[in-house]
Amino acid sequence: MTFQTQTSFYNVFNFNTRADINDRMVTYWYEGYCPNTGKLLRLPRTHQIEAIARELMKCLAEDPIFSKEGKMYGVLLVETQNGNQVLRAFSGLLQGQSQKEGWVPPISGQEKLVLAENQTLAELEHIKQQILQLQFIPERQEYERLFKDFSQQLVELNLIHAQRKEDRKKQREFLFSHPQNEEIADQLNELQEQSKRDGMEKRRLKRQRDERLQPLQRSIQEADQTIQQLKQERKMRSRQLQTQMHCTYSLTNFAGNSLSLHQLMPQGLPTGTGECCAPKLLHYAATQGFKPLAMAEFWWGSKEQGKFYGACAERCQPIMGFLLSGLSKFDDIPKIKDDSLPIIYEDEWLVAIAKPAGLLSVPGRHSGKGDSALSRLRNLLADGMNLRSVHRLDQDTSGVLLFARDLESYRSLSRQFEQRQVHKIYDALLAGRMILSEGTINLPLWGDPSHRPYQVVDWQRGKPSVTKFRVISRGENDTQVEFIPLTGRTHQLRVHAADSQGLGMPIVGDRLYGVAKEGDRLCLHARELHFFHPRSGERMILRA
């Protein structure tokens, strides 16, 4: 990109955007929990930052080099002492280089590993060449050639022997039909000897085949074993380099704290962590004392050019809470309009909230049950009366709750729920220490009409109900479990957890199927909801 292009890109957007940032039409939230306070921290992707990103796309389109190399790019709008400024970053390397003029630099610490990285890369290249040589040793080609030749000879010999066998059969039939022949015994013996000679001929050919092929096969097996050893060595060296990088790369947040990637995720991080756009942008803004206003990441190049993405689940999301820590010192960072009803996603067709425990999803039938997530949203949003509830969460369950803003979106989402195309993930805390680590619960549920909403396991009248579970952690007297319901029955997770035919451990705080003290909340949280956007068809993953 030319200097003139860079300058025009920055000048176009160097204006105050406070009103736009406060706009509730946020397209995505970068968010994470502060590791010190546990507070949810959020940075928006707004319509305006997307417009800024599209201007960068125009600049990228001016140079064909950028279109050849598909990668992720990002922009971060920050407030400085001299006004607003746009920072931009690319993931990994750009045209083989980690640093380019006009782009934020890579995370500090990489320069310390240049020598070790180059040495390891050279070793990995040497191992690669060794593997290639072993994969194409001449014994492999010779084995394939001889195996093919001997196979063809056996086929031809089998055909000859089959014809001889058929001829001997006819000769025997003729001899047995003329018993007066005095030489019948000698002739039968001769036919028997011919059969033996055919068998010996076939065994001799197989023996020749084995004598030629077995040494080659041993060489190939030895080469394959060496290849496996080299691959293990390559894997080990790559991990060692990655561990060094994670120990050396240091990230700084807006609270002024710096930690290495290894300290942030001691259990291990995927390759490339710290090289994505979001960590680069946030780290740089924090070290420069800039105030972040909005951020966007998009793909440019070979596939899905111009598509916006959120924080990647494996590399960025686990460290997002740390990166955003300290945002509270900027008292005018965008906040949710109603803290009691946080909106986690919103566009023209959908609204999703993080429903708190104790709040109904929709108004109840009886008096005093009018307060609900739906009724609050209808009072909160200008088009609230058009909202339709797509699904529900129990009053005592917290988590992702989705609403449609028009009839067509409602019908599309409802079909996805009916056809079980929606993927749901719950977190639960069970009252007891589980021995099992994962499994599937398949218990039919039936609701007694005289005892609603209580559900019981009933093998005659119950409806199929299936839940997958996986243990996340174990305490002395409790177990944190991830539930994935494959069906959507009333109280399904609560019954599958508490019933003796299921896990036999009620969810902590469950007054209906377990034991709970007054004031205790049900420890069941709808953490994720996966579905297809009713208009764009894009795969959506909402988290609370």
Sign, CA torsion 250/251/254/257: negative
pLDDT at 384 > cutoff 80: no
- pLDDT category at 370 given cuts 50, 70, 90 is low
CB atoms within 10 A of CB 513: 19
262 touches 243 (CB < 8 A) = yes
DSSP 8-class letter at 406: S
Mean pLDDT in residue range 207-222: 94
Q: How far apart are CA 82 and CA 20, in angstroms?
A: 19
Q: Closest Cα partner for 445 from 466, 426, 424?
A: 466
CA dihedral (234, 240, 245, 246) positive or negative? positive
CB 402 within 8 A of CB 352: yes
pLDDT in tens, 226-264: 999 999 998 888 777 766 665 667 788 998 888 877 677
- What pLDDT score does 481 carry? 96
Phi, psi of 62 (to 5 degrees): -70, -25
Percent helix, percent strand, percent coil in the chain, to nearest 5:
40, 25, 35
The answer, yes or no, to whether residue 33 has pLDDT greater than 50, is yes
Q: Which residue has the tokens 């994670």?
A: 246
CB of 27 within 8 A of CB of 45? yes
At 368, is the pLDDT very low, low, confident or very high (cuts 50, 70, 90)? very low
For 374, list phi and psi in degrees, rounded to 5: -65, -45
Q: How many CB atoms lie within 10 A of CB 214?
A: 11
**Burial category of 104 from C-beta neighbours within 10 Å (exposed 0-12, middle 13-18, buried 19 and up):** buried
| Pairwise CA distance, residues 26 & 46, whole Å | 5
Share of the chain above pLDDT 70, in %: 84
Q: What percent of the chain has pLDDT over 90?
A: 50
pLDDT of residue 16: 38
Pick the CATH number of 343-543 from 3.90.110.10, 3.30.2350.10, 3.60.21.10, 3.90.550.10: 3.30.2350.10
Going from the C-alpha of 260 to that of each of 42, 83, 257, the distances in angstroms are 22, 31, 10
Mean pLDDT of 290-317: 85
pTM of this prediction exceeds 0.85 = no
Please tell me the distance from the alpha carbon of residue 154 to that of residue 202, in angstroms, as a whole number.
7
Give the residue-averaged pLDDT of 65-69. 69
Lowest-pLDDT range, 332-341, 399-408, 426-435, 470-479? 332-341
Lowest-confidence range among 200-214, 319-333, 436-450, 467-481?
A: 319-333
Residues 6+ apart with CB under 8 A from 126: none
Residue 3 confidence (pLDDT): 28
Q: Is there a contact between 282 and 291 (Cβ–Cβ < 8 Å)?
A: no
**pLDDT, position 330:** 59
Q: Closest by alpha carbon to 79, among 219, 371, 289?
A: 289
Catalytic residue (one of 20, 198, 347, 394)? 394
User: Residue 329 — very low, low, confident or very high, per pLDDT cuts 50/70/90?
Assistant: low
> For residue 512, is pLDDT > 80?
yes
Coil, helix or strand at residue 300: strand
Question: Average pLDDT in the 499-508 region?
Answer: 93
The CA-to-CA distance between both ends of the chain, in Å, stands at 40
Mean pLDDT of 198-204: 94
Cα separation, 353 vs 342, whole angstroms: 6
Strand, helix or coil for residue 470: strand
- Give catalytic status of residue 510 as yes or no: no
pLDDT (tens digit per residue) in 475-487:
989 999 999 999 9
- The mean-pLDDT minimum among 9-23, 54-68, 155-169, 426-440 falls in 9-23
Report in angstroms the alpha-carbon separations of 186 from 191, 192, 199, 266. Answer: 9, 10, 20, 86
Cβ atoms of residues 344 and 25 within 8 Å: no
pLDDT at residue 14, rounded to an integer = 38
Confidence grade of residue 192 (pLDDT, cut at 50, 70, 90): very high
What is the per-residue pLDDT for 93? 80
- Identify which of 109, 92, 121 has the alpha carbon closest to the alpha carbon of residue 238: 121
Where along the chain do its domains lie? Answer: 3-108+261-329, 130-243, 343-543
Model confidence at 313: pLDDT above 80: no
Q: Which of 169-178, 207-216, 355-364, 380-389 has the lowest mean pLDDT?
A: 380-389
Q: With bands split at pLDDT 50, 70 and 90, how would you rate the model's confidence at 185?
A: confident
CA distance linking residue 107 with residue 246, whole number of Å: 11
Rounded CA-CA distance 479/473 in Å is 6
d(CA 379, CA 206): 86
Mean pLDDT of 454-473: 93
Q: How is residue 297 written in tokens?
A: 């990441």
Q: How high is the pLDDT of residue 335?
A: 40
Between 65 and 167, the more confident residue is 167
As a whole number of angstroms, the distance between CA 67 and CA 208 comes to: 59
